[in-house]
Structure 1
Amino acid sequence: MTRNNLFWLAGGLAVAGVVFLIWGISLMNNDIRSHLAANYQEYGRDSDGAKYACTGRPQQVASEIAQAKAPEAQATDRGSEYLRYNDDIVIVGPDAGRPCSIRVEDTDARYSGGGFIFLGPGFTPGSPSGGSGGSPGGPDGSK
């Protein structure tokens, strides 16, 4: 390779490095937890997740959150909105005297333990079909 070709190669690699750096930075804040932390005030935290204060109707707040980052599934039950994401479930509704509260829970820690997985009302499938592990088990399909 000639000296000029090496300069072109080095320049191309430098430009590619800058492009990938900018792309990586843009992906860092692409999860729902960072969005909520940046836009709502946290007022509580426990082993299950974090709670954020919100104003307005839960349906309106859930819609705003869903516009910022689209959920995999969404359901409504008794005045609360449930937004399911890959690793989290966001529950928007009243909480302990607050008319509007946002609760974020980790689905891996909270909803899976090798048994029944419940991600809030309205999500399908609601439970494993049949018996243990989705099949009736035992010889000839019976227990």
Structure 2
Amino acid sequence: MKPRLWFLLGGICAVLALVIALVMIFSTGTGPRGYVANHYQRAAHLDLRGDDDNRAYTSPLTPSVVSREITSRWQPVAQAADTSGIYLRYKDDAVIVQPRDRGSVIHVMDVDHAYHRYHSHVGGTWGWIGTHGESFRGRGPGAGK
């Protein structure tokens, strides 16, 4: 009877460990949005108005260091940089890293909203983003005429 008890206790411990591991994996978030949320200080007062999907974060590090940290973990589809900041485009999200005081402000938002807001900074490098996420390359006869 004692070996059955040990197997039962071992099974319960294994299930408990699995549950804890799954909670840890899924609570940390994935992708650039989750990475930024887990590594930088949330700054809700810096969220951009008019975009409910936007989340602002801060870092004491410079924009170039912050963008290097993010891109070393999550490779962007496209990126642009100018004196106003560093613009990282991902499949569904955009990460905008701009200087603020002696550090950076990091905005994570939907890629379409980011494109429309920062078109003058990213238009030539990100390309046009349609409502379905495709790049504008013609789309067939009669499209756009």
Instruction: Give the TM interval when normalised to the shorter protein.
Output: 0.5 to 0.7
The answer to whether 1:88 aligns with 2:87 is: no
Identity of aligned residues (%): 25
Aligned mate of 1:51, from 56, 68, 71: 56
Q: Which has the larger radius of gyration?
A: 1
User: 1:101 maps to what in 2?
Assistant: 105
Scaled by the length of structure 2, the TM-score of the pair is 0.58
| 1:1-143 matched pairs, under 5 angstroms | 15-16=14-15, 18-31=17-30, 32-38=32-38, 39-42=40-43, 43-45=45-47, 46-48=49-51, 49-67=54-72, 69-79=73-83, 80-94=85-99, 100-107=104-111, 110=113, 120-121=122-123, 122-123=125-126, 127-130=135-138, 134-137=139-142
- Deviation of residue 62 (structure 1)? 0.6
Contact 1:74 1:81 in 2 (8 A): no
Root-mean-square deviation over aligned CA pairs: 4.0
- Deviation of residue 53 (structure 1)? 2.6
Cα 1:124–1:70, aligned 2, differ >3 Å: closer, same or farther? Answer: same
Give the unaligned 5+ runs of structure 1: 113-117
Cα 1:60–1:29, aligned 2, differ >3 Å: closer, same or farther? Answer: same
Give the unaligned 5+ runs of structure 2: 130-134
Distance 2:103 2:114 in 1: 25
Distance 1:41 1:28 in 2: 16
Distance 2:140 2:12 in 1: 53
- Deviation of residue 63 (structure 1)? 0.7
Report the 3-state secondary structure (helix = DSSP H, G, I; strand = E; otherwise coil) of the residue aligned with 1:135. Answer: coil
Note the alpha carbon deviations across 1:47-105, whole angstroms, 9 max, x for none.
321222333431111111223x313324123132222334321011246x787321111
Distance 2:82 2:63 in 1: 11
Report the structure, 1 or 2, having the larger helix content: 2
Scaled by the length of structure 1, the TM-score of the pair is 0.59
